[in-house]
Amino acid sequence: MPERRGRIDVHHGDNLAVLAGFADASFDLIYIDPPFNTGVVQVKRRTRTRRDPAGDRVGFHGLRHQTTVLGHSSFDDRFDDYQAFLRPRLTEAYRLLAPTGSFFLHLDYREVHYAKVALDGIFGRASFLNEIIWAYDYGARTSQRWAPKHDTILWYAKDPGRYCFDLDAVDRIPYMAPGLVGAEKAARGKTPTDTWWHTIVSPTGKEKTGYPTQKPLGVLTRIVRVHSRPGDRLLDFFAGSGTFGEAAARDGRACVLVDESAEAIDVMRKRFAGFPTTYHVGATAARGARTRARSADP
C-alpha cells in the first residue's frame, strides 16, 4: 500500500452538468456504475446491531442482539428512455479520457447490449478490449429460469494501441486443480481471466455502508491497480457510496466522484472520514459561480 493516500474530490449534482466543467483528456481511468434500469426505486435500510440481553435476535453462542434502524438510503432506477439518459454521459466519458486512458462501464443484462453498441459508436469497435463478467452467488433463486448471478463490465481504451494493463499488480487467485501444477505455481496462484468470481458486499460485514447496490472494494481495487498508476487521476461520476474513490485513494491515486443523491454524499462523508477529501456542491471550481468547496482534510 502506498504511503500517501490519494486526494478525493466529491461533487454533489447531476453528473452531466458537473462533467461539463472538466477539461478534455483530464482523467487516466474512468469507471461508472450507473443505475441498471431495474424499474424500481433501489432502497436499503441502514441498521446498527448491538449486544443486548433483551434484544430481538439470537446470534452466535445464543447471545441476544438488538437491531436499530438508523435510516434508509435510496435512488431512483426508473427511466422512460434509458439509452437517451446514458448516451450523452458516455460521450462525455470519451472526451474526458486521456489519450492512454481506459473506460469501464458496469451494468447487467438489462441494458449492457444496447450500451455496448453505443460505446462501439463513440469509441470505435477496435477500442473495445474486454467484457468482464463479475460472477457472485448470493440471494434468492428463481425456479422459472437460470438465476441471474452476474454483472457485466465493459472495458474500452481511448487508443487500443496504448493503454495501462499492469498484470503484475493484479491479486492472484487459486488454481482450480492445484494438484496439476507444481507446488511453487500452486502457492503463487494464477492471474484472473475475464470472469471474476467475487462475493457481494456482505450485508453484515465491515465493508457495508448501507447504500443500495454498493459494489465490492475487491472488484474495483483490481480495476484501479491494473488499469492505472500511482499519481494518476481517476473519475467515477455515478459514485454512490464511493467504493471506487476508496479503492483509488487507498492505492495513491487522486479521484473525482460525482453523485446527485444527498444520501450518497452523506454516506461518502462517513466513509472518507480518514481520507483527504474536498466536497463541492454543483459544478467545478473551473466553472466558477456554482461551486462551494469545503475541505475535510484529516
Site for ligand SAM contains 9 (CB under 6 A): no
CB nearer to ligand SAM: give 124 or 218.
218
Residue from 102, 214, 221, 228 binding ligand SAM (CB under 6 A): 214
Binding residues for ligand SAM restricted to 15-44, rule: CB under 6 A: 15, 33-35
CB-based contact 33:212 (threshold 8 Å): no
Phi-psi region of 32 (alpha: psi -120 to 50; beta: other; left: phi over 0): beta
Cβ atoms within 10 Å, residue 126: 12
Sign of CA dihedral 104, 110, 115, 116: positive
Q: How far is the CB of 243 from ligand SAM (least distance, A)?
A: 3
Q: Which DSSP string do the residues of 122-166 spell out, in sequence order?
A: HH-GGGEEEEEEEE---S---SSS----EEEEEEEESSTTS----
How far is it, in rounded angstroms, from Cα 223 to Cα 245?
12
Among 22, 27, 75, 82, binds ligand SAM (CB under 6 A): 75
Measured from the CB atom, the residue of 240 and 252 that comes closer to ligand SAM is: 240
Give least dist CB 156 to ligand SAM, A.
18
Binding to ligand SAM in span 237-266, by CB under 6 A = 238, 240-241, 243, 258-261, 264
Residue ranges in contact with ligand SAM by CB under 6 A: 14-15, 33-35, 75, 211, 213-215, 238, 240-241, 243, 258-261, 264
